[in-house]
Structure 1
Amino acid sequence: MVVDDHPMWRDAVGRDLESAGLELVATAADGPSAVARARATRPDVLVLDLNLPGLDGVGVTAAVTASLPDTRVLILSASGEQQHVLDAVKGGASGYLVKSASSDELLAAVRAVAAGETVFTPGLAGLVLGEYGRQDADGPRLTERETEILRLVAKGLGSKQIAERLVLSHRTVQNHTQNTLRKLQLHNRAQLVRYAMERGLAD
């Protein structure tokens, strides 16, 4: 599903997705319509602008992720402002691209988000991660390896990329990620990213 208040941009993104073989189930031009149509069509991925009339993209993200936990939200915004990225991720977004991204980058991001990965325009994740405070002293105890993998997840790397960087098997990385989710009582990688941002785990 594609949500943008500019008809030409909305149509262009929809065409790009359909031409790549993806099914476009709905579009919307404002926040309230976006929430209603998402609940009606239950898309796998919601490609969402931040600047919307009626309800902004962060509000739409929060409403959709609360009622449709299987729908992933990918923000596609003209803004690369640090606070906007942070607000979107805290609202539950699984990814954030700026509109200067190419069609190929957008398609790759949609597929990655649909597969449960997190995606950021290069450079944005590091900016956001630097904003947050220290890890809770009395929080759940993660092993050094779990913390290392959590930092890389927070930077938007997928399991295969993490496995290559740390010279581990793909299965090992997935096992560590699942262990971390269980310890932190979280449910998906987007929540892991949010946890890491809130605790400054990229210092």
Structure 2
Amino acid sequence: MVVDDHPMWREGVARDLGERGLDVVATAGDGAAAARIAPAVRPDVVVMDLQMPHLDGAGATAAILEVLPDTRVLVLSASAEQGDVLGAVRAGAAGYLVKSAQVSELVDAVERTAAGQAVFGPELAGLVLGEFRRREREGGTGGPELTARETEVLRFVAKGMTARRIADRLGLSHRTVENHVQNVLRKLQLANRVELTRYAIEQGLDADT
């Protein structure tokens, strides 16, 4: 399923994917429409834009995954801003790709996402590393931390290395490298919820108003 508020871009992506053998079951022009349509068509992968009217990509991602937990969301956005990338990951996106990517990269990313792998480009890896380092500088938050191996894998990803190259470099299997990346994504989402809950309690935001 392809979700984007720009008709030419949306139809172009759907056409490119279809011409390369992928079955595009639906398209949607905004996040709210995507959240309505997805339960009916039950896509394996949603290619999701971020900046959209009515409901943005992060909100649509969370809404779709609440109903279809087995569906995987690959964000395809023009933005590589830290807030957008981390917001998408925290909403449950399995991967993030910028719109400057080649069609071959998009097709590969969709296929990897469908196979349960984390599409984790250099931009996202660098931002996630920066996020964990920020927490360390601030004295930690009580949330989960990265293991030495996870940090090592992320550093290689941030340098633009593929999972297969990293596996060869570290003497690991390709699947093990992908698992490390998946663990980092899960930790980031969990840490965010822990931090948000703690902040709300500390600020009295959990009290009735």
Q: What is the TM-score with the length of structure 2 in the denominator?
A: 0.75
Query: Unpaired runs of 5+ in structure 1?
Result: 181-187
Give the number of the structure whose residues are more often helix, by fraction: 2
Q: RMSD of the TM alignment (CA)? A: 3.1
Higher Cα radius of gyration: 2
Pairs within 5 Å for 1:43-62: 43-62=43-62
Count of matched residue pairs? 184
- Aligned pair in 2 of structure 1 residues 198, 69: CA closer, same or farther (>3 Å)? closer
Query: Which residue is 1:65 aligned to?
Result: 65
Query: Unpaired runs of 5+ in structure 2?
Result: 192-209
Q: What is the rounded CA distance, in whole Å, between the counterparts of 2:150 and 2:38 in structure 1? A: 33
Following TM superposition, by how much is the alpha carbon of 1:32 offset from its aligned partner in structure 2, in angstroms? 1.2
- Asked if 1:33 is matched to 2:25, the reply is no
Following TM superposition, by how much is the alpha carbon of 1:82 offset from its aligned partner in structure 2, in angstroms? 1.0
- Asked if 1:17 is matched to 2:17, the reply is yes
Q: 2:184 aligns with which of 192, 195, 198?
A: 192
Ranges of 4+ aligned residues in structure 1 off by more than 4 Å: 135-142, 153-159, 196-199
Following TM superposition, by how much is the alpha carbon of 1:65 offset from its aligned partner in structure 2, in angstroms? 1.6
Following TM superposition, by how much is the alpha carbon of 1:196 offset from its aligned partner in structure 2, in angstroms? 5.0
Contact preservation (8 Å) 2:76, 2:99: yes
Query: Which residue is 1:99 aligned to?
Result: 99
Q: What is the rounded CA distance, in whole Å, between the counterparts of 1:118 and 1:128 in structure 2? A: 13
Contact preservation (8 Å) 2:112, 2:119: yes
Query: Which residue is 1:148 aligned to?
Result: 149
Where relative contact order (Cα < 8 A, 6+ residues apart) is larger, the structure is 1
Identity of matched residues, %: 52
Structure 1 counterpart SS, 2:122 = coil
Structure 1 counterpart SS, 2:70 = coil
Following TM superposition, by how much is the alpha carbon of 1:128 offset from its aligned partner in structure 2, in angstroms? 3.2
Following TM superposition, by how much is the alpha carbon of 1:70 offset from its aligned partner in structure 2, in angstroms? 1.1
- Aligned pair in 2 of structure 1 residues 158, 92: CA closer, same or farther (>3 Å)? farther
Following TM superposition, by how much is the alpha carbon of 1:159 offset from its aligned partner in structure 2, in angstroms? 5.7
Q: What is the rounded CA distance, in whole Å, between the counterparts of 2:162 and 2:114 in structure 1? A: 12
Q: What is the rounded CA distance, in whole Å, between the counterparts of 2:8 and 2:32 in structure 1? A: 20
Structure 1 counterpart SS, 2:5 = coil
AA paired with 2:71?
T
Following TM superposition, by how much is the alpha carbon of 1:34 offset from its aligned partner in structure 2, in angstroms? 0.2
AA paired with 2:60?
V
**CA deviation vs aligned residue, 1:74-130 (integer Å, no higher than 9, x gap):** 111111111100000000001111111111111111111111111234333212321
Query: Which residue is 1:184 aligned to?
Result: none
- Aligned pair in 2 of structure 1 residues 148, 101: CA closer, same or farther (>3 Å)? same
Following TM superposition, by how much is the alpha carbon of 1:193 offset from its aligned partner in structure 2, in angstroms? 1.6
Q: What is the rounded CA distance, in whole Å, between the counterparts of 1:34 and 1:111 in structure 2? A: 20
- Aligned pair in 2 of structure 1 residues 3, 161: CA closer, same or farther (>3 Å)? same
Following TM superposition, by how much is the alpha carbon of 1:164 offset from its aligned partner in structure 2, in angstroms? 1.2
- Aligned pair in 2 of structure 1 residues 141, 27: CA closer, same or farther (>3 Å)? closer
Query: Which residue is 2:172 aligned to?
Result: 168
AA paired with 1:78?
A
